[in-house]
Amino acid sequence: MTGVPVNTDLRDLINDGGRVIDSTSTPSANGLFVTQLPLITGKNSDGTTLAATPAAGKFGLTLSAGTSEVLLSENANSNTKTDVVVFEHQLPRNYIAGANITVTANALFTIGAGTSATHTIGAAAYKCANAGTQGATIIATAAATLTATAADYNFVITGATLSPLDRIMISLTAIITDSGGSNVTGTINSVRLS
């Protein structure tokens, strides 16, 4: 590491596991540096660990060191598959209270010889209270239609109720429909906050 930006709180650097921040990086207007959410830390919507193979309602974590790490949905084959992955994240001390946060998922869908009627990705986010409760989603951005080429899909978390050190749970949902008897899948390549 060549240096730490002037406005970086060293407690956050240490609390975030010592993640190296590029010394040329500048925070967004909300005080956040772009933060990758490690796919390997994603969980199923019931809190269980992701398996290597997708299952009913659950993404699979496809990992091949030196080649790729992605979340793969179930195969839709003349049916519809809905898969969900969740991430928990604590906002750092440098987050500016009340500022919006953007969740960016890089994703795509892959089609075999069939016909895909629906292929969307949507997001929800929830503020986690100290008592363990959550309210309604604080993302108002509608689901987006996935393309066959990897692309970024942005979802805005309304920050009006958020403060530094708050915990948020982010949920991503892929809905894939095949009507032609061929396997169609959705893939999430990365998830980041800014």
Higher pLDDT, 112 or 88: 88
What contacts 46, CB < 8 A, 6 or more positions away?
A: none
Q: How far apart, in whole angstroms, are the C-alpha atoms of residue 154 and residue 28?
A: 15
Task: State residue 3's pLDDT score.
Answer: 55
pLDDT band at 39 (very low <50, low <70, confident <90, very high): very high
Per the CB < 8 A criterion, the answer to whether 105 and 123 are in contact is: yes
Q: Each residue of 90-112: pLDDT tens digit? A: 999 999 999 999 999 999 998 87
145 located within any domain: yes
Q: Each residue of 1-25: pLDDT tens digit? A: 445 555 555 655 555 544 445 545 6
* pTM attached to this predicted model: 0.85
Q: Each residue of 127-151: pLDDT tens digit? A: 999 999 999 999 999 999 999 999 9
The first and second tokens of residue 104, run together, are: 């960016």
12 located within any domain: no
14 located within any domain: no
The continuous run of DSSP H or E covering 47 comes out as none
Q: What is the DSSP string of 13-42?
A: HHHTTT----TT----TTSPPPEE--GGG-
21 located within any domain: no
Torsion of CA 38, 172, 60, 119, to 10 degrees: -130
**Encoded amino acid at 15, one letter:** N
- Residues 160, 194, 125: CA angle, nearest 5 degrees: 50
Number of domains comprising the chain: 1
20 located within any domain: no
Q: What are phi and psi of 39, to 5 degrees?
A: -60, -35
Residue with tokens 């390997």: 40
42 located within any domain: yes
Structural domain including 39 reads 33-193
8 located within any domain: no
Per the CB < 8 A criterion, the answer to whether 145 and 73 are in contact is: no
Least confident of 64-78, 87-101, 134-148, 164-178: 64-78
85 located within any domain: yes
CATH number of residue 65's parent domain: 2.60.120
pLDDT band at 153 (very low <50, low <70, confident <90, very high): very high
